[in-house]
Structures are given as structure tokens and as C-alpha cells.
Copies of this chain bind each other. A is one copy, B any other.
Amino acid sequence: MSERADGASLEEIVARFGGKLVGDGSHRVVQVATLDQAGEDQIAFLSNPKYRKQLATTRAGAVILSASAAPDCPCPYIVSDNPYAYFARVADMLNPSIRHDSGIHPSAVVLPDLPTTVHVGALAFIDAEASVGADSIIGPGCIIGRGVRIGAGALLHSRVTVYPGCVIGRQAIVHSGAVIGADGFGMAREGDGSWTKIPQIGRVVIGDNVEIGANTTIDRGALGDSVIEDGVKLDNQIQIGHNVRIGAHTAMAGCVGVAGSARIGRRCTVGGGAIILGHIEIADDVNISAATLVTKSIAEPGTYTGAMPFEPHREWARNAARLRHLEDMADRIRVLEARLARLEKKP
């Protein structure tokens, strides 16, 4: 993105995004910043209460905040029910995407005809029968397989691979190193312990407004498709197995692994490093905490956690040794209870 040179006045901002403006509407801001670092020509926001004490001393040109924080604000402000989302929209307004000239770099190898508004970067390869929607950007070094379909307004950063036949929706953003549509891990075990590969004949089908992080991998279906619904956001280095379905607007942090045929609901969040086993179902609106291993289906919304707490190593070692003897501890408690009961019955 690049900064919008002339910025915007507070009046322009509320005209576009709503909210109640208090203060000089003609004041111009050119960039967003944090409360403690913003200057006169920048706009900050207050969302997390723990930063509220920074409000009194901010030198921001304006602040986006909720009604309850307004009394403390020393400068012009915009009141919003959701200051963070409002801030996101203002940040986007002030930092428009860099315009790429449309056209195909002479070093790219592009076999199909593309709309004239598409930009293809240096040394990219687009195979036969692929289609790319209007205004899309295919970054340098991307490899787009035969028959792939990419929607309008998509942005593939450099070095993205899309295997043959996969589908990416409109306004998708895919970061560098992502691999869409590699074979799922499908093999049958022979009697001698060796493995016979099962051809992976499904596709990956990705909806609209999906963002996929750097070096994330999404495998094609074995039979049938792997499906990423609209608005899903995947961070970096996530692995999605074959025939997984991820519901709309679910977001996953980095390093998550989802095994084959798992079905994850809508509006879920999955913390970094969590592992979700295969063939399970997770309901809508479930939050999985970081580093949690999900071993069975979850039918109810809510937050689920499974990580071992960390400690100084010496204390951990003592407690971890006990962990192997919980069954024994439970037995000893049972025996104590029985013995005590006998004793209590004595006259």
C-alpha cells in the first residue's frame, strides 16, 4: 500500500463511514498511528481499555473511540460502536493499494487470453485454459496451473502456486509462497507396510474475500473438493488437509494444522499452532485456543483449550513426573477414603 498524499479531513471521514464527529471537521489527517505515537496529522484509535490512560496525553490529530471514552479526549474525536473496525476502514482509506499498471510483464509466460485490466508480474507462468478476472494482480513468480479460475479483483502476491483446476474467488488476497491444490495425503497401506498413493482428483474451491497467508498450504480433495468459504482469513504457515471445509468468516492464526475431512463451522477462531484432527466437525462460533489439539467434534459454541501450562523448568519437571502417576494418586485417594470411612464407623 502507499500513503494517500493529501490524506482526508475528519468531515470526509465521517461522511464516508458514519459516526459522530466532535471537534474541527476541517482538520486533515494523512496517516493512522497508535495513541502514543500519533502526531497532529495522524488519527489514532482507542479500543482496548488498557490503553485508555494514553488518551489524556495523546498528541494525535483525532481519535476514534467509543462514547464512554469521549469525555477524556483532548482532541477532536469520532465516536463509533466499534472503534477498531472503524479504524480499519480509515486505515484502508488512507493507504490505498499500490496501483499496478495493467498488462503482462514481457518476462511472464501467459498462455490464455486475459482481460486487459489484469496485471501479471515478471517471470510468472499462467498455463492454458486458466482464467483471471478483471482487475486482478498476479505477482511475480506465480505459477497458475491449467484450468485454474481466479475471480475479479484478486491479488496474488509473488511466488504463489495454484495447482490445475482450482478455483479462487473474487477479491481474494494470497500471500507469497502459498500453495493451493497440492495432493492430499491419501495412501492405502499394503500388507508389507508400504503405501500405495490414491490419486487426488478433487479441487480446492475458495470463496470471495478470502485472505491466505504466506507459505500456507491447502490440499485438493481426494474425491470431491476442499472448500474455503467466503471471508475466511488464514494466517501464515497453515496446513489444510484434503476435503476440509472451513465455514464463512472463520479466522485461523499462524501454524495451525487441519487434517483431512474436518468440517469447521462459520465465524470460528483458531489460535496459533492448534491442530485439528481429521473427520471431526466443529460447530459455528467455536473458539479454539492456541496450541490446542482438537481430537473430537465440538457441537456447542464456546472457547476450548488444551495446552499444558508452562513453568520454570525445575517445577515443570517435578509436576510432569507426577503426571505419569495420576492414576496411582487417584487410587491412593480412593483407598484413603475407604480406610477413613471404616475408622469413622468405629464407636
Residues of A within 8 A of B (CB): 1, 3, 31-34, 37, 81-82, 84-85, 87-89, 91-92, 95, 98, 105, 107, 109, 121-123, 125, 127, 139-141, 143, 145, 157-159, 161, 163-164, 173, 175-177, 179, 182-183, 185, 187-201, 209, 211, 213-215, 217, 219, 223-224, 231, 233, 235-237, 239, 241, 249, 251, 253-255, 257, 259, 266-267, 272-273, 275, 277, 285, 288-295, 302-313, 315-327, 329-330, 332-333, 336-337, 339-340, 343-344
CB contacts (< 8 Å) of A179 on chain B: these are: 159, 175-177, 214-215, 236
- A303-B310 contact, Cβ under 8 Å, with A105-B109, A223-B37, A236-B219: no
* Nearest chain B CB to A99 CB, angstrom units: 13
Chain A interface SS verdict (over half): loop
Verify B217–A215 contact, CB threshold 8 A.
yes
A260, B41: Cα distance in complex, Å = 26
CB contacts (< 8 Å) of A177 on chain B: these are: 161, 177, 179, 215, 217
Verify A158–B143 contact, CB threshold 8 A.
yes
CB contacts (< 8 Å) of A213 on chain B: these are: 182, 185, 217
Task: Kindly list 7 other residue pairs between chains A and B, CB separation below 8 angstroms, not including A195-B249, A302-B312, A311-B324.
Answer: A37-B224, A91-B198, A109-B123, A121-B125, A179-B236, A239-B255, A305-B312
Verify B201–A1 contact, CB threshold 8 A.
yes
- A194-B304 contact, Cβ under 8 Å, with A158-B143, A273-B293: no
- A159-B161 contact, Cβ under 8 Å, with A109-B105, A236-B217: yes
